[in-house]
Amino acid sequence: MIKNSLITKVIDWNSSTMTEANHLGKALMIKPDIFEGVMNQIFTSKNYFSDNPMSSLLFSTKNVMRTNNTEWEWQLRGGSTRPLIVVDRIETSNYPGKIHSEFSLILDEGLFIAGDVITPGTTNKKYQSRIQEDPIKYGNGYLYKLVLVTNDPNDYVPTKYLNNGTRWGKLYSQYEEGAEQSGSTTYSAPIMLTNRMGRLRKKYEVTGDVANTVLAVAIPDSNGKLHKSWIKYAETEYWKQWYREIERSLWYSRKSDKVEGATGRPVITGPGIQQMLEDSHIHYYTHLTSNLIEEYLMDIFYSRVTPNNRKTITAFTGEYGMILFHRAMQQLINKDSATYGITNSNFTPIQKAKSPYHDNSYAVGYQFVEYHMANGLKLKLVHNPLYDDQDINFEIDEVTGRPVESMRFTFLDFGGEGSDSNIKMVEKINGLKFGYTAGLTNPYGFNSGSLMSHEGDYYTMLIQKQFGMHIEDISRCGELILDRN
């Protein structure tokens, strides 16, 4: 328990049980002038999901798809060309290709044909070899007959390039005059992916006596109007927790259909962002540096996106992760004298400040929140409060004393807006449902002869939402995760 001289009474938590006037009385919430000001700070908000970055981002940019089904599929197409891999070795010569002789390769696919010129990918492309016959099926792969493209009879292909696992890629196709053959064209088969959504539910209950209870505290809404009723407090707390649970689901949900609910039916859940990224670019680090960040992002985008077309990548991290990022950028400046000189000529960390203690007061400080790297790579930080949430993050870093999760960096390439965005929320059409179960009390007042759903002097508010997270191409995303071991 937290010990503090300001605490005068410890109140039991009230979780998902009926809210009663007796409970409010114990909590001192219906006595005059208690918690004034504190309650105003807690419940003043522009919207209920303003401190949930992923929900806010998706809702504000309208990166939301809607479907009638709880599962959805999409196609992801890779590159239309790829190297083939040696799966077996049958060539016996120690000097394959010497004196313009044929030599053999066993490659994993029969995609190349007669006339295609292929190479083991050496820097100088010296060992270009022309396929002389269309490949034929041979064991676990395809047999290729090749001749080294050279005029020097002493040239040959080193035998190490014929070993299992070696890659050979096509350069082009070359033919003689009057040829009737032509080069190959390859097509990538689309990969079919599927995902599904889960179902979240939440409720609160209010008795008739509480519904008429007036609080001493005034709770402002987004329009600045003040409310002094328990109902407004209950709804505010309810909606804020609801949207926080949605945010947690977007990040942390785990795919499962093996858990059974009270009805005997499976509790079907879809994967959140972190589970989906487990098959993406994951790197564990002990010390964050600018070089690590740049090399990590280069691994993702090298050769797949031209430098002039690269866009800003968003990195979601905790508060301590933002500090580590700032320190990494500061070290980049300090170790590079040229950068240090340019930096000092472009910004002043010392600024004029107002203070009652001196008529010539100054403030010093700055924070790095973006990193503009070479070749068009840009990184922008976004604070993710979930990574700092000590209600759910109990693994503490022994060095900093903060949650390890606070130092996680989740890199997301949104890559477009609306239907073209790489990252979206998927909602079931008519999947958002909410309503009231009313007794002698209902959310609009007290029953006087109207129909009731039960005989109790209380009502229940219930909400249900079916939704899931969609990442079109996870290979454009990844995570840096702290690991001291």
Do residue 50 and residue 138 come from a single domain?
no
Does residue 436 lie within any of the structural domains?
A: yes
Does residue 65 contact residue 470 with C-beta atoms inside 8 Å?
Answer: yes
Distance (Å) of CA 77 to CA 37, 111, 121, 189? 56, 17, 24, 7
Strand partners, 426: 65, 468
Q: Does the pLDDT value for residue 341 go beyond 80?
A: no
Query: Residue 361: phi, psi to the nearest 5?
Result: -95, 150
Averaged pLDDT for residues 182-190: 72
Nearest-angstrom CA–CA distance, 26 and 49 = 30
pLDDT at position 450 is 84
Q: Residue 229's pLDDT band (boundaries 50, 70, 90)? A: low
Does 185 map to a domain? no
CATH of the domain at 139: 2.40.30
| Rg, Å, the chain Cα set | 32
The enclosing H or E element of 382 equals strand 378-383
Per-residue pLDDT, 385: 92
- Mean pLDDT, residues 49-63 taken together: 79
- Please identify which residue in the block is written with the tokens 């508010």: 461
- Asked whether residue 244 is domain-assigned, the answer is yes
How many CB atoms are located within 10 Å of the residue 248 CB?
A: 17
> What confidence tens digit (pLDDT) does each residue in 37-47 have?
333 333 444 44
Give the per-residue pLDDT at 60: 75
User: How buried is residue 310: exposed, middle or buried, by Cβ count under 10 Å (0-12/13-18/19+)?
Assistant: middle
Q: What is the mean pLDDT of residues 431-456?
A: 87
User: How much is the pLDDT for 141?
Assistant: 92
**Quick one: pLDDT at residue 5?**
45
Among the listed ranges 212-216, 382-386, 462-466, which one has the minimum average pLDDT value? Answer: 212-216
| Same domain for 74 and 122 | no
Name the band, by pLDDT with cuts 50, 70 and 90, for residue 318.
very high
In contact, 308 and 376? CB cutoff 8 Å: yes
Residue ending a domain, choose from 120, 140, 173: 173
pLDDT, tens digit (0-9, with 9 covering 90-100), for 264-285 = 999 999 999 999 999 889 999 9
454 inside domain: yes
pLDDT at 79 > cutoff 70 = no
Angle between helices 337-344 and 319-335 (to 10 degrees): 110
- Amino acid sitting at position 32: P
pLDDT of residue 190: 64
Looking at the structure, do residues 149 and 163 belong to the same domain, yes or no? yes
232, two tokens = 């407004």
- Terminal C-alpha separation, the chain: 31
- Number of structural domains in the chain: 2
Residue 151 lies in a domain: yes
Kindly state whether residues 312 and 167 are assigned to the same domain.
no
Do 242 and 267 reside in the same domain of the chain? yes
Q: What is the pLDDT of residue 377?
A: 83
Strand-strand pairing, 433-438 and 441-442: unpaired
CA within 13 Å, CB half, 138 = 18
What is the pLDDT at residue 262?
92
The encoded tokens of residue 308 equal: 């002039």
- Res 388 pLDDT > 90: yes
Q: Region 326-349: what's the mean pLDDT?
A: 73
Is pLDDT at 11 greater than 70 in this prediction? no
The verdict on 139 and 211 lying in the same domain is no
With 60 as the cut, is the pLDDT of residue 359 above it?
A: yes
Confidence check: pLDDT of 189 > 60: yes
Same domain? For 98 and 207 the reply is no
Looking up tokens 């004298």 gives 337
Residue 22 has pLDDT above 80, yes or no: no
Most confident of 23-27, 174-178, 206-210, 299-303: 174-178
Q: Rounded to the nearest 10 degrees, how much is the dihedral formed by the CA atoms of 283, 288, 291, 295?
A: 10
* Same domain flag for 441 and 315: yes
Whether residue 90 sits in one domain with residue 32:
no
Residue 426 pLDDT greater than 70, yes or no: yes
In a shared domain, residues 21 and 120: no
pLDDT tens per residue across span 441-450: 887 778 888 8
* Alpha carbon distance 114, 324 (integer Å): 56
Give residue 231's pLDDT. Answer: 63
User: Quick one: average pLDDT of 351-378?
Assistant: 89
Distances (CA, A) of 268 to 196, 212, 252, 278, 431: 9, 40, 15, 20, 15
Say which residue, 49 or 196, is predicted with more confidence: 196
Cα–Cα distance, 213 to 25 (Å, whole number): 11
Q: Which amino acid is at 272?
A: G
Same domain, 353 and 436: yes
Q: Considering only 156-160, 220-224, 258-262, which range has the smallest mean pLDDT?
A: 220-224
Domain termination residue (choose one: 158, 173, 188): 173
Structural domain of 131? 84-173
333-346: b (≥16 Cβ within 10 Å) or e: beeeeeeeeeeeee
Average pLDDT over the chain, rounded to an integer: 82
Structure tokens, 468: 């899931």
Distance CA 191, CA 435 (A): 41
Q: Are 354 and 227 part of one and the same domain?
A: yes
**For 413-430, what is the mean pLDDT?**
82
pLDDT in tens, 126-159: 899 999 999 999 988 999 999 999 999 999 999 9
pLDDT attached to residue 40: 36
C-alpha dist (Å) from residue 373 to 290, 292, 293, 376, 408 = 9, 12, 10, 6, 21
Q: pTM value?
A: 0.75
Examine residue 187 and state whether it is found in any structural domain, yes or no.
Answer: no
Q: Which of 173, 188, 219 delimits the end of a domain?
A: 173
Distance in angstroms (rounded) separating the CA atoms of residues 153 and 319: 66
Please check whether residue 268 lies inside any domain of the structure. yes
Of the listed ranges 102-106, 334-338, 477-481, the one predicted with least confidence: 334-338
Which ranges constitute the DSSP H helices of 163-266?
Answer: 208-211, 230-252
Domain contains 190: no
